[in-house]
Amino acid sequence: MRSTNAVAGAMLATLLGAAWLAPSPATAQQAAQVTYARDIAPILQRSCERCHRASSLAPMSLQSYQEARRWASRIKERTQLRDQSGVMPPWFVERDVGIQHFANDEALSEHEIGLIAAWADSGAPEGNRADLPAPLVWPSSPSWDIGEPDLVVDLPSFTMEANAPDWWGVIDRAATGLTEDRHVAAMQVLEISDAEGGMGGKFIFHHAILTSTVPGGRGGGPFWPVHEVGRNAQHFDPEASPLLRAGSAFFISSAHMHSNDVTTTAHLRLGFKFHPRGYQPSKSELMLTFGNGEIDLAPMRKGQEIHLYHTLEQNMKVTSFEPHMHASGVRMCFEAIWAGRTETLNCVGYDHDWVKVYSYDPDHAPLLPAGTLVHMIAYFDTTEDNENVVDPRNWQGLGHRSIDNMAITFLPGITLTDEEFAAEIARRRQVHGLAEGEAMLGCPLCGYATVPAVQQ
């Protein structure tokens, strides 16, 4: 015979089960209660305001409830694009393939995207003002993502007339005023319009190859990141930082200027964060760049591919991945092929308005043995679905103009001797607690306590 207690227990379980299955009024109410003050304002502050505020580069401010409410449905639309062109914030790493750990990740989480959608769908309520986070204080000009720089260098201004043809050339030098050699930890380039507040017409610098020289020197400075329209900050691997020499000057050895339909005068402002004095890099840096060659794109066709290959001569830790294409580029995938094993390390969307660099989290950065075949697949869409294509009826080949094409990869990283490589693999195995035979994406040898010898 069942005891009363057991029956009561069974009844309770049934009740609890029922309560768990049926959406209770309380839960539905909670979902409807996503509010601007409590849930949305913190997301906009962290991920949007640096661009969406007065005196920055986005077309509208999202700093107050009135502003955010007006844009609620567009905010929902743009944040739901995930890795597609037009996504906000602009960050195009595909989430269902490849390495998902980046040091400079800007993407919203699925939870945040869901909150925004629920908020927009429920009439964008303000909620309780007492829940509002304290407002952020922003400078009156475009701001740094690397923190306040230790050194700022303003290069000479350039004026691009409305509707002028593209211009290529050299832009003269500016002295850094640096009086001692310093190692650079991070670097960012801002395009500053000479209009009030630093923001005038949209960008006119398509790209700028930045070169540093020292007095009496013959160039030969480090390979600095190439500035490109919409590009984010670069953090160098802490083990292999470039050296900026005392007395250096910067000039743009190859500038490509592009009219934005409004006569605009602007210049590049370089910001540098230094390592502490006395810092010494322990490894050698490598700026691996490869690509281009013949490009032959049919008009009005999606899914056209260009394949780029490079065999690594040394062991390499890849610190960042930066695809470079032009207007019809829409995606690039990064594969590593080693000893018959192929891995897709990342696929990222590409929007030529935002040339992004994706910096790996140091514990997830690809660790590729010498002999690895690096394979990049660049995807192009020349149809009118690609808003960046001016005239889909044109054949497109290789060229410097944005309406012509390129397919290049910048892979900054560091080279590792066999001993350094083995030590880095041992560290990885420890950080991730990898068992024997358990490799990790981007590190084909991480599954081995003893690195097997391979005939190259």
Contacting range for ligand HEC; rule: CB under 6 A; set: 72-80, 165-173, 265-273, 330-338: 72-80
Contacting range for ligand HEC; rule: CB under 6 A; set: 88-96, 267-275, 331-339, 382-390: 88-96
Q: Which is nearer to ligand HEC, 75 or 186 (CB)?
A: 75
Q: How far apart are CA 342 and CA 109, in angstroms?
A: 29
SS3 67: helix
Element (H, E) at 212: strand 205-213
What's the closest the beta carbon of residue 75 comes to ligand HEC, in angstroms? 4
What's the closest the beta carbon of residue 162 comes to ligand HEC, in angstroms? 19
Site for ligand HEC contains 74 (CB under 6 A)? yes
Q: Which is nearer to ligand HEC, 78 or 173 (CB)?
A: 78
Q: Which is nearer to ligand HEC, 34 or 75 (CB)?
A: 75
Site for ligand HEC contains 79 (CB under 6 A)? yes
SS3 373: strand
Q: Which is nearer to ligand HEC, 44 or 374 (CB)?
A: 44
Site for ligand HEC contains 52 (CB under 6 A)? yes
Q: How would you class 281 by CB atoms within 10 Å of its CB: exposed for 0-12, middle for 13-18, buried for 19 or more? A: middle
SS3 323: strand
SS3 114: helix
Q: Which is nearer to ligand HEC, 60 or 164 (CB)?
A: 60
Q: How far apart are CA 417 and CA 56, in angstroms?
A: 44
Contact between 346 and 306 (Cβ < 8 Å): no
Site for ligand HEC contains 109 (CB under 6 A)? no
User: Looking at this protein, which amino acid is placed at residue 251?
Assistant: F
SS3 343: strand
Beta-carbon count within 10 A of 450 CB: 9
Contacting range for ligand HEC; rule: CB under 6 A; set: 54-62, 252-260, 359-367, 405-413: 54-62
Contacting range for ligand HEC; rule: CB under 6 A; set: 85-93, 257-265, 305-313, 405-413: 85-93
What's the closest the beta carbon of residue 116 comes to ligand HEC, in angstroms? 7
How many residues form the binding site for ligand HEC (CB under 6 A)? 18
What's the closest the beta carbon of residue 299 comes to ligand HEC, in angstroms? 25
Q: Which is nearer to ligand HEC, 237 or 351 (CB)?
A: 351
Contact between 441 and 345 (Cβ < 8 Å): yes
Q: How far apart are CA 67 and CA 206, in angstroms?
A: 31
Site for ligand HEC contains 90 (CB under 6 A)? yes
Q: Which is nearer to ligand HEC, 349 or 444 (CB)?
A: 349
Does the CA dihedral 104-105-108-111 come out positive or negative?
negative
Cis preceding-peptide flag for 89 (omega within 30 of 0)? yes
What's the closest the beta carbon of residue 182 comes to ligand HEC, in angstroms? 28
Segment 242 to 271, residues that bind ligand HEC, using CB under 6 A: none
List the one residue from 59, 278, 433, 452 that touches ligand HEC (CB under 6 A): 59
Within 13 Å of residue 361, how many CA atoms lie on the same side as its CB? 10
Site for ligand HEC contains 120 (CB under 6 A)? no
Contact between 236 and 242 (Cβ < 8 Å): yes
Structure tokens at 144: 């740094």
Contact set with ligand HEC (CB under 6 A): 47-48, 50-52, 57-59, 71, 74-75, 78-79, 86, 88-90, 108
